[in-house]
Amino acid sequence: MKSSRRNFIQSLGVGAASLGVAHQSTAHTYEPPKSSKPNADDQVLFVGDNIAVANTEYGKVRGFILRGIHTFLGVPYGADTSGKNRFMPPQKPAPWTEIRPAIWWGNSAPQIMEKRYANTYASFVDHWNYDDVSEDCLKINVWTPALDAQKRPVVVWLHGGGFVNGNGIEQDGYHGENISRLGNIVFCSLNHRLGSLGYSYLKAAGGHPASGNVGNLDMVAALEWVKNNIANFGGDASNVTIIGQSGGGSKVTTLMNMPAAKGLFHKAVVLSGGSLAGVNKEYAEKLGLKIMEEAGLKAGEIEKLQQIPWREYIDIADRAVVKMADEAKRLNVQRGGYSPVADGEYLNDSPFFSDATHFSSDIPLIICSTFNEQSPSRTDATLEKLTLADVKERIKPRFGEKSGEIADAYARSFPKARPIEIWSLILSNRKNAVAIADAKTSQRKAPVYLAWFGWQPPLFDGRMRAFHCDDICFWFYNTDLMLTHTGGGKRPRALSEKMAKSFLNFVKTGNPNGGGLPPWKSYTTQNGETMILDDTSALVNDPDRDARKSLA
């Protein structure tokens, strides 16, 4: 591991614009560039009555063309989830007759917005994009090079936020324009129900059997929309890749283990997240009953629960989680709260990827995590001076008596790393990523490709390191949009081009090789083949194996 912190850069939207400036259009139709070197002063945005109009099964939508990419925002794939539709599987949207404008983002799913920007450092780094928040949130965004019959591969982005927060365009790095242009693909992102409104399991309280998984069923509905409509946007419904980061990574692994999702996607990518099981069913059932109790309602009074204002309902549900803390410990529930429930009907109740005959066995998978998912010193320079003995004390609340052994093991595996970096590596360990890779590989069908992102930005005096979320803009060729994650310039763009092209090869063929990275062998449990992503990338065999063993 490099002890210097010089590997992180990202550039401005001006750079993105230079990648595909469009030529002058007529009043009502768009013509692609005729020159390989268009004039930087030419018109780049086109919007009008007969520009970027596409059909969907529910009615026509009108978007816009920006730098040659047709863009459609906030297209309904499901009905409003409030009132009688709350806690229920998603319903189809009502058809419309007039052309519907699709030029602005759909509502974010209900979530706590108070003090969302209270941490000024976090707000600066991620500069989150949030607009209206409501239960009418089942909307999808589409970026495509053309509305034709070319049948381009399709990518569907599932945002992070731990099943509780976030939206499809929370960060500028989520935008699909650049990757759509670079790879000639169709890129989609979406919003879906979150938290207690998406994952309150109310079956035992008289609610719908699917109530503990309706947030994931929203994603299934979005994928069904892609299947039925994406040809109208120049896409190929028989070649769909789902990709998610953090909580979005767990959305990917849960979808890979949902019967309703079978056949709706064909490749998958998990970034800094993922799970190998759903929430304990017994815990989720008892939590649902506790919600009714906290709301002052009896079992069966679901209709009354549906009428409580969503913000008030979130508070009720959160109080129920606190009161279920002891029960969560008894049932060995690691993270109490609201996420997909292993009910055995809508989500597998067996360990994920344990069945070699399951549909997930045929789906190639990329898994990537970052060196420094947690960087304790980002906003506290004093921590840079810690000794290894200090680190051992700092990690005791999490690792107890094994703290010394763990710190020593990581120090041996990474002899050039400073103590603060050792601390970060321990907190950011790859245990989960490797466990998912091992489980998926055990199906012995489709390949798994494992990566570890180590490129570090020169921001906050070099203390950000290769942090959680930082790799997203590299995969999507958006380092020119996510300045506060990279710092700007050609260095991140160079790595991003290799990562994005490798991702695009995977999207098109199921194999990432040929995009500019070194030859990338598929993962095996025996060798632990791992692509280290940095200014100079390299394929290595399980570089932290001995250190990880100390975590067991």
Q: What pLDDT, on the 0 to 100 scale, is given for residue 116?
A: 86
pLDDT in tens, 154-172: 999 999 999 999 999 999 9
What pLDDT score does 22 carry? Answer: 31
Q: CA–CA separation, 457 vs 7, rounded Å?
A: 5
Could you tell me which of 170, 343, 323, 319 has the C-alpha nearest to residue 254? 343
CA distance 26 to 32: 11
pLDDT band at residue 127 under the 50/70/90 scheme: confident
Predicted local distance difference test score (pLDDT) of residue 335: 83
The pLDDT tens digits of the residues spanning 475-522 come to: 999 998 999 999 989 999 999 999 999 999 999 999 999 999 999 999
pLDDT given at position 128: 87
Give the tens place of pLDDT for each residue, 444-481.
Answer: 999 999 999 999 999 999 999 999 999 999 999 999 89
Mean pLDDT of 228-241: 98
| Interhelix angle 310-323/281-294, nearest 10 degrees | 120
Q: What is the mean pLDDT of the chain?
A: 92
- Tokens 């982005």 belong to 157
The band of 222, judged by pLDDT with boundaries at 50, 70 and 90, is very high
521-528: average pLDDT: 98
The more confidently predicted of residues 172 and 23 is 172
Task: Tell me the whole-structure pTM to 2 decimals.
Answer: 0.92
Nearest-angstrom CA–CA distance, 509 and 185: 13
* Residue matched to tokens 């950000």: 464
Q: Binning pLDDT at 50, 70 and 90, where does residue 93 land? A: very high
Q: What is the pLDDT of residue 19?
A: 31
Residues 383-419 as b or e (16 or more Cβ within 10 Å = b):
beebebeebbebbeeebeeebbebbebbbebbeebbb
- 336-344: average pLDDT: 96
Buried b (16+ CB within 10 A) or exposed e, 40-64: eeeebebebeebbbbebebbebbbb
> What is the mean pLDDT of the segment spanning 371-384?
93
Residue bearing tokens 């309280």:
205
C-alpha closest to that of 267 among 509, 496, 444, 499: 509
Amino acid present at 464: M
User: What mean pLDDT do residues 87-102 have?
Assistant: 98
CA dist 403 and 505 (Å) reads 42
* E-assigned strand segments in 29-125: 45-46, 53-56, 59-62, 64-66, 69-76, 100-101
Mean pLDDT of 311-325: 97
Q: Could you please report the per-residue DSSP string of 483-538?
A: HHHH-SSHHHHHHHHHHHHHHHHHHHHS--TTSSSSP-PPP-TTT-EEEEESSS-E
Write down the pLDDT at residue 469: 95
> 14: pLDDT confidence band, cut at 50, 70 and 90?
very low
The stretch 313-326 carries a mean pLDDT of: 96
The closest of 41, 49, 38, 42 to 25, measured between CA atoms, is 42
> Which pLDDT value is given to residue 29?
39
* C-beta atoms surrounding 198 within 10 Å: 28
What letters, b where the CB count within 10 A reaches 16 and e where it falls short, cover 466-484? bbbbbbbbbbbbbbbbbbb
What pLDDT score does 41 carry? 84
Spatial distance between the Cα atoms of 497 and 15, rounded to a whole number of angstroms: 13
Tell me what the mean pLDDT of segment 182-202 comes to: 98
37 pLDDT tier (thresholds 50, 70, 90): low
Contact indicator for 146, 111 with CB cutoff of 8 Å? no
CB neighbour burial string for 73-94, b if at least 16 within 10 angstroms, e if fewer = bbbbbbbbbbeebbbbbbeebe
- The rounded distance, in Å, linking the Cα atoms of 85 and 95 is 17
What's the pLDDT tens digit per position in 239-286? 999 999 999 999 999 999 999 999 999 999 999 999 999 999 999 999
* CB distance 205 to 302 below 8 Å: yes
Give residue-wise pLDDT tens across range 416-440: 999 999 999 999 999 999 999 999 9
Active site amino acids: 246
Reported as a pLDDT band with limits 50, 70 and 90, residue 38 is low
Q: Is the pLDDT of residue 552 over 90?
A: no
Instruction: State whether residue 1 is helix, strand or coil.
Output: coil
